Structure 1
């Protein structure tokens, strides 16, 4: 079946289904409506099966899926991840003494209990866990007898004043104030690296269960003299997943709002219930298929069911509107359903394909979590093609619509609606010129503002959550009380085996540290080189003159052995891989950019065949790679989505002028959306990157529905103004309904505890509304200058016109009734059997997307 907009087809009024030729229509239509009961039974079975699968869908996330896995930075990290155990996924737990400092028996007892419970939580990499109670945290000093050292927590600790005083001395000798112990010594930290998979079961880390375990520990110690603060990717994702439970309630709000708007428009309870039910079925199928595909519901893909439901309701409203118009004119509900299927299936299919394009281009983004979102969303759109373009008309062929609602709709369509009169002004040159000039001014302003659009996070802490969230309050406390921040940017130094023992390697590492410490936003740095300096001095009676790097390989090796005893994460067993860790004041895009450029410049000058300085590891290093990937994908994604939408529009309209008319409003809205992001302080990142693509893919629906009817009317002889008014009556008012419905469905996200969902809700609502206004105002204005030539014939003031394109060779028009008389011998698809004559009211002449007969 080919998509065309060449002509209007006369659809006869058939009040009895037995008068309808069931062999008429295309092959797909006959298959569907001649086997209605079978199709409904199959849908019921599929809904039961996929609904069961949907109930088993997991809610989780993955640290690895947040990375742009093919980016060179991430490839470098993954190749050396086994040697960088302390720089992967981890959490930091700070325990504060509410009534004093850490040198208190009750506090230390509570810290020990917390340490032991965290140590046993599934997913903890116990060999690299650090705290005052872990023996891996050690102190070392030089005495007259030589080296002396041990665990920071004395082996003889018994809670006495003497053992606590010994702990105080060990803390100061270990030099951990500012890292594991707060600057004011009122709190201490547990550093907890995590495993991606459970070593026993092999299952992926369950972030929700991990977060719940930590929150249980926090709750058990509440009001017992200690305060607990927790930060890290696992805690953040756990909070996001916990917030999803509340977000699910917004689905109910969206369903209620959409149902209310549709009911307000139709005043028909049964058809509204069917539209909402089919959309809910689509959501159930989509979630069930996600489960079968092995996907999980994460904080990003949780938004997809909202969009699928809203899109389903909007497309369902178009089908319901068409059936309602036919029934009001006297056509039987079964025939009306087939008529509407003929008119709107191809337009709806093209629109949904455009939606699929908007989702599908997200797969060009080299971040697995976004690709999973693209798969989930594309699956949902594919489901909508079946549930809302096929199942809904079939169900409406059984139930029909309320007679009262149908007649009210007909009266509104035949009346001279004030909104139609007002919108029709934009097909006149003065109004069109004004709209075009205003659009140019707005676009220019948006370009100026959008030039300041930033890539990455613009706020400290976790921008995914509200500023007053527990996580961000915890982060503020830790940042204020510890010298070393949680934002770690690591440069990976690689050499041949035992290459770190060479003086030249340590010297270059030390030089890079010195350069990084001068970069704005870097608090301090640490590496095997800087630590080796202090241990070298310790080997020479602690003399400050020996706080240096020694050229003797034996001295260097001895110093590195002591470094490894206290900091095993600083290099691997073969002494060939070591990180240089920069602790950053924040992870804003500007800070990360400065560090990346500094390291790249240093590496370009100092890399050799045996020694490489590779980017990047640490949570800040991974985020830097993500920002680069997002910045590259942003324009690439927009190019692909606009290219695909342009191709779809050209296939549909077969006119480059019509393509320009359809696409220009989308471009204006995209630029306005980027300007709004600048005004709201929202950067382009993983959470917000999909918004513009989704807005374009869904927004083109408006143009497809509106222009398809307008062009068909113009090519059948109507002037532009009349053709536009006809499009407004038939699909334009539903376009307005769709825009409002989609915006209303996502606007409740603005109250979400998850900030990036709130941001997406505001941006999508903005794009939906502006795309709707662009379709209703900018499209007719552009059409005034670009689509005048689409009119093939002229029509008189009464609206009578030639209908030869619809198959009528010589129609006889009654001057008294204004009706077209013709016999069944001249009939088109859907007419009564041969031998019957009938009368067709001119108001019943509705447009249809014409396609070749397949019977």
Structure 2
């Protein structure tokens, strides 16, 4: 037994020497944390999802106040019959536009709509001046058919409106709004937008809405489901405890463990001043359920020890002595998996990794120490009720399979095949989203339906911003700069999946054409800087609205925004868009002195950064979780073989998990990486418990390894099966109740990982031990009947 084991043994003696003092300290800390719980805030901050050190996000942050960011809302008014050019429909579009302009947090300068003052008809007067006026006059009480027909023709002749704000079939119009990023109240914005939809809804007219504020608003709208999920989860756990234990301590102490662990965890969250994000709620539920599972292991072992010694204090002491070491190792493994999440560059996961790892470590005090001490002080429980015959028969069959060399070899062979098939299926997993719409919500949800309708009728609601920057002010007036931007724009438009684009060269060409009697042959970029500047000035002078060029260039004429419209932000769409952009940018022949093309903003650019960050995090965090748990187990048992067994179990579960993700079309993103890391850390507890119990039983059986495996599965194996059921019960209701698809998918992913880890612990670990006879379990040999005995029994 090495120094660490001696240290743990000293803790054992100290704790049971002063049980009341330790319990009093734990109670006082619980009271302290309980006072912090009401201060916990639950909300989502869009900035927390963004890897702030990524170059795309730095660009996004620098241009969002000028050109807009990723917090935009796109609403569409669609008519069933005729087109939108009727007096009633135009009035409805105008009312919606004005109402959106009054929504909290909207950027009034970046609102776009057919009826908004910034959408203007531009023409050349008889005196050679450029003039403009809004397409829609809200003071006009009635429109004749001739006026409506003229308005229709004017709109169709302007490529900056037709196709972008009015659909090609003339049956739909968009209202686009940008919101000032920061402390946006998504719930308030969502309520206001939904009120607009309800007010303006009418027969023959459909109003759709998509965009980040709408998405987070929908997320907030389902927070009321938390109470139902919580109550049903508690009910499931209580039911399982009653069925399994049918004894007061077995029911009350695990619930006590989960309660005070949750209080400590939420108290730490409050002290760190972190918000509880709705998208990550599944993980706190799992950590709390994990606390209960440790309590179940302790109570189960206590009842077993009590049958041998018939004295509660001694039984509790022996329980603590047997389970504190593997339990601590399991909890440290949990904490490692959680803490490593913080190595990613996304703030939401940094926060999650820090508070969740501390929450997990608290289980050492709230369960591993508190529960045995309480058992030592509580009255002696009544004798156990008779166990169910079917329960013993089930685990007896499992033991019979794994406790012999032939069965073990079959199991390891099947596991090897599963690994090979799983590796192939894992290649299907994409970095990012594999389906259109938002994976947070179901495909038939109003939000995703709105996105689909808008993307079918328009170039696309998913915008990619690419910035052109010149070294000097006024650089955007240079003809060679505009020609380069146009060439880049044309290169991107060769992508058949790209819906459209908007950039300053198009505006310059359009104004130049107007100055030449609307002759299409003059839709070209002038060859002098002064001429270009004159066209820009003429356009601004024609508009009484300040900042008429703001959607295209900044006030210094030094930075321009090139907008590309995509119909989705699937992983393949984003990869193709970024690849095409870099392809042109990196071509030496396209370089223009003093011009720099920078990636990337808008929702597509932001998502690209998130995908790249998720890939980097996945390649860093998951291998580190596996490696550090391997190192820690190796050091704990002073055996490379012990570390290798745990590593093998983790690899089997991890590869199988990725295979499931490939089959279920679940992508790797900033939300799924922590789920995988948590699943690995939490699930490995099972294998640690079963391996440690086999080691202990081998010593007790004086080296009879087969008897040790049979005994371990009949005791710890049974507890593992039950704790796995409890952990599954702790998250399964998210699958059936939550209207947030991501929460349901995350819960289902955790369920799959918990099942895989339980199977690995019950089958793979004992089979490996039976076949390869690791020395840290005990030196062994076969007798004439093929039964394994130890030549040199090893102390526990």
Instruction: Give me the TM-score of the superposition, normalised by structure 2.
Output: 0.91
Partner of 2:778: 791
Deviation at 1:46, TM superposition (A): 4.1
Query: Which of 703, 712, 717 is the matching residue for 1:718?
Result: 703
User: Is residue 587 of structure 1 aligned with residue 566 of structure 2?
Assistant: no
Q: Hey, what's the Cα distance between the residues in 2 that align with 1:624 and 1:368? A: 16
Query: Which of 128, 131, 137 is the matching residue for 1:154?
Result: 137
Deviation at 1:595, TM superposition (A): 1.5
Q: Hey, what's the Cα distance between the residues in 1 that align with 2:717 and 2:3? A: 20
Q: How does 1:599-638 map to 2 (within 5 A)?
A: 599-605=581-587, 606-607=590-591, 610-638=594-622
Q: Hey, what's the Cα distance between the residues in 1 that align with 2:86 and 2:476? A: 41
User: Is residue 773 of structure 1 aligned with residue 759 of structure 2?
Assistant: yes
Q: Hey, what's the Cα distance between the residues in 2 that align with 1:398 and 1:113? A: 71
Deviation at 1:322, TM superposition (A): 1.7
User: Is residue 764 of structure 1 aligned with residue 764 of structure 2?
Assistant: no
Partners of 1:5 and 1:708 within 8 A in 2: no
Q: Hey, what's the Cα distance between the residues in 1 that align with 2:310 and 2:791? A: 24
User: Is residue 754 of structure 1 aligned with residue 737 of structure 2?
Assistant: no
Q: Hey, what's the Cα distance between the residues in 2 that align with 1:128 and 1:624? A: 23
Deviation at 1:127, TM superposition (A): 2.2
Partner of 1:649: 633
Deviation at 1:224, TM superposition (A): 7.2
Q: Hey, what's the Cα distance between the residues in 2 that align with 1:216 and 1:350? A: 53
Q: Deviations over 1:245-287 (max 9, x none)?
A: 3244223222222222222221113431221132022223322
Query: Which of 158, 162, 166 is the matching residue for 1:177?
Result: 162
Q: Hey, what's the Cα distance between the residues in 2 that align with 1:416 and 1:304? A: 32
Q: Secondary structure at the match of 1:456?
A: coil
Partner of 1:141: 123
Partner of 1:116: 98
Q: Secondary structure at the match of 1:205?
A: coil
The Cα RMSD (Å) is 3.1
> What stretches of structure 1 of length at least 5 have no aligned partner?
7-23, 198-203, 807-846, 848-855
Number of residue pairs the alignment of both structures matches: 779
Q: Deviations over 1:50-101 (max 9, x none)?
A: 345333422221222222222222223333434332x431111223456654
Q: Deviations over 1:626-656 (max 9, x none)?
A: 2122222222222101111101211222211
Partners of 1:152 and 1:174 within 8 A in 2: no
Partner of 1:838: none
Q: Deviations over 1:326-374 (max 9, x none)?
A: 3333533333333322221121111011011111121222211222222
> What stretches of structure 2 of length at least 5 have no aligned partner?
541-546
Q: How does 1:66-81 map to 2 (within 5 A)?
A: 66-81=49-64
User: Is residue 186 of structure 1 aligned with residue 171 of structure 2?
Assistant: yes
Partner of 2:464: 489
Q: How does 1:89-238 map to 2 (within 5 A)?
A: 89-97=71-79, 101-146=83-128, 147-154=130-137, 156-161=139-144, 168=152, 171-172=155-156, 174-175=158-159, 176-197=161-182, 204-223=183-202, 226-238=205-217
| Distance change >3 Å, CA 468–CA 546, structure 1 → 2 | same
Partners of 1:154 and 1:167 within 8 A in 2: no
| Distance change >3 Å, CA 743–CA 576, structure 1 → 2 | same
Partner of 1:332: 311
Q: Secondary structure at the match of 2:223?
A: helix
| Distance change >3 Å, CA 83–CA 328, structure 1 → 2 | same
Deviation at 1:486, TM superposition (A): 0.9
Partner of 1:286: 265
Q: Hey, what's the Cα distance between the residues in 2 that align with 1:156 and 1:42? A: 73
Partner of 1:252: 231
Q: Deviations over 1:399-439 (max 9, x none)?
A: 4574133x647x999x9866235424424222222122211
Deviation at 1:572, TM superposition (A): 0.7
Q: Hey, what's the Cα distance between the residues in 2 that align with 1:562 and 1:57? A: 55
Q: Hey, what's the Cα distance between the residues in 1 that align with 2:566 and 2:704? A: 65
Partner of 1:65: 48
Partners of 1:498 and 1:576 within 8 A in 2: yes
Q: Deviations over 1:454-492 (max 9, x none)?
A: 11111111122101111011112212222x211111211
| Distance change >3 Å, CA 528–CA 255, structure 1 → 2 | same
Q: Hey, what's the Cα distance between the residues in 2 that align with 1:225 and 1:793? A: 81
More deviation, 725-734/563-572: 563-572
Partners of 1:254 and 1:306 within 8 A in 2: no
Q: Secondary structure at the match of 1:361?
A: helix
Q: Secondary structure at the match of 2:563?
A: strand
Q: How does 1:823-838 map to 2 (within 5 A)?
A: none
Partners of 1:80 and 1:577 within 8 A in 2: no
More deviation, 350-359/392-401: 392-401
Partner of 2:38: 55
Deviation at 1:604, TM superposition (A): 1.4
Partners of 1:715 and 1:793 within 8 A in 2: no
Q: Deviations over 1:535-573 (max 9, x none)?
A: 221122221111111111122113334666545221111
Q: Hey, what's the Cα distance between the residues in 1 that align with 2:523 and 2:60? A: 31
| Distance change >3 Å, CA 44–CA 418, structure 1 → 2 | closer
User: Is residue 297 of structure 1 aligned with residue 285 of structure 2?
Assistant: no
Q: Hey, what's the Cα distance between the residues in 1 that align with 2:95 and 2:520? A: 40
Instruction: Give me the TM-score of the superposition, normalised by structure 1.
Output: 0.85
Deviation at 1:779, TM superposition (A): 1.1
Partners of 1:131 and 1:191 within 8 A in 2: yes
User: Is residue 596 of structure 1 aligned with residue 578 of structure 2?
Assistant: yes
Q: Deviations over 1:655-674 (max 9, x none)?
A: 11122222212211211111
Q: Hey, what's the Cα distance between the residues in 1 that align with 2:577 and 2:48? A: 24
| Distance change >3 Å, CA 738–CA 793, structure 1 → 2 | same
| Distance change >3 Å, CA 572–CA 788, structure 1 → 2 | closer
Partners of 1:107 and 1:225 within 8 A in 2: no
